[in-house]
Structure 1
Amino acid sequence: MTPGRHTPDPREARTPAEFLARLQALKDWSGLTYRELSARAEARGDVLPRSTVANMLARATLPREELLTAFVRACGATPAELEDWRTVRAELAGRGAYGAAEAEADASTATDAATDTDTDAGAPADPGAAGQVAPDTPGTVGPPPTWPGPDTAAASQGGASGIPSGTRPGTPSRIRRALVATVALTGLVLAGVSVVAFLRDGGTGPAGQHPRAGQPPRTPAAVAPAVGDVRIRLAGTDFCLAERRGTRTGQVHQVPCAASDFPLYSLATVGSGRWRIVSDHPDFGPGCSGIPSGGRIPDSAYEDSECGDPSRVEAFTLEPYGTPEGPVRGYRIVPVGSATPGTCVTVVGDRQAAWARLAQAPCTPDAAGQLFSFDRRD
């Protein structure tokens, strides 16, 4: 904890979000890591898993009272200060703020699900956050027009039978048979054209399938960042971000996407246009990707570690990169507030090889090794 500074006052909180912000400030004031908080709580007889604390601070809902008590005590608050935290929590919950926050979280989850559907089709998930401009939305959309077919035209001219007066009963049937034959013939012609085109192209199918001789397989388009679980892929490649198993450094590398399930990543917003890249490590629990030492070292490693370390850069902007004439090629991960300005998270070393590491490096005009896609993770 910082000498000469008082603990954050929860009585200034008016919403669950403000209450959680003060809990984060309390952790920062304590100067303790998640591991240290867990150990201090255990020494007092409380249960406070590291992953539980990280999840609590990442949510927008009020924590349970027993979790709040264990956390505030571990941070070093006095009994009187603990009572203030409990009182404010009870007041917010009593005003329905707890339920409102849960409803807001549910709405956010529903929005993310809708975004996933859109981005699977290649549309940007969050145009505002990614610097895109959303298309205009039509004011009123009516049902599609209904065009009269042979049967409806007959019904409009005839009686209950649907056959117009003066028409022989067999005429509509012959018309329908002629239409069916025409449609079938058209289908055969189109199928033949498709087969010819397929053979002419050497069997080239959808992206990534049966490429022409001498051409690399097509890669998926870059997916815009959106809150939720993601697989972070180097745009235009089959490399994804991961750590090396059996190490404790947290260094992030590029590896084949099929082997990139360690750790798991997700995106969270930390302000207007700013993002936090959250890592879920099976051994060390939740953490954050970041740049150590405030980015003062030009080639500082891009690594995963515990969230909340004030000496690390843990907030990023995810900036789209492309040209007005073409689609977005990918998104740069730019450290916010780095002591070395003008830098991007970059693959350094052999960019064609697995296990090339990532580090902070100057952003380049061609963005080589600096473009990422935030593919949705099921």
Structure 2
Amino acid sequence: MANAGEVRPQQAAGVGEFAAAMRQLKERSGLTYRQLEERAAGQGEVLARSTLADVLGGKATPRPELVAAFVRACGDEQRVHEWLAARERAVSGGTGRNGGEDEGEAGDEPRTAGRRILRRLSRRRVPALLLGLTVLSCVAAAVWAVGPSGGDGAGGPGSSGTRTVLPHGPVEIRPVLADGLCLTDGHAEGYDSLVAVQRPCGDVAPQETELVPAGEDTIRVQWYHPDHGKGCLKAISVRTGAALLEPWDDCAKTSRFRVERSGSGGGAQYVLRVVGGGCVGISGSRNSAGAPAVTQPCDGSGSQTFSITPAH
């Protein structure tokens, strides 16, 4: 029988209600995203703040290993098996199966199903869901060309009619006004999840960035980290009024960009134009580490200009 005030994930009828139960458990723990991440790390587990924020915010479906690490970090380790069984029912729509992934036997008791998943997790190391993601980068199976685009206005950067040829494989994207800094993951003031910021290029590894072709001469900005997996950047507006770039695990729902040659500064300098409006630029202290990347009206200024070169 549950104790008074105990969170009851087994009552969740779907993924949304399960996420609500996880939010309730976090609130009951009194811990911040950072503290939960640190607690999990102390137990030898990965619990990326950005991934957890996406799960609790309903943007991503929690994988079993994230649920287990989260529940233990919240201090509810005695009921991990119950949370895992509830997660499986929520994801599978209450049928006890979810199309083959982490499935249990029909009619399993929660404790039995949860223990089965725990045994499976103990036999393999599964990377956590995205979302503590990485540098902006550019990839393809071979060198590929991005054509010019009229973008948000005629005569903008990259509208000269020449094709932009980008390097393939992992790259570094460097704001031209900030010597020695690269775009990677970090935190913006007043926002919990990881977003794109500029930090010293030497701090980026082992993260990688790819610009993945998305059709119609556009790309998605995909980050990769061996511990956290992959995610793509999404232009979002937050309560502070900033238009930040946040990594989401569902790349199909994220922003597309056009890489256009800059009107000044040479052949390896580019503008990242957001499909739907605006260009990527650096906010605030443009040459300072930690300054976030934002979307803003395209103006061709140095704060919206980046070099794209192969990563070393």
TM-score by length of 1: 0.40
More helix by share: 1
TM-score by length of 2: 0.48
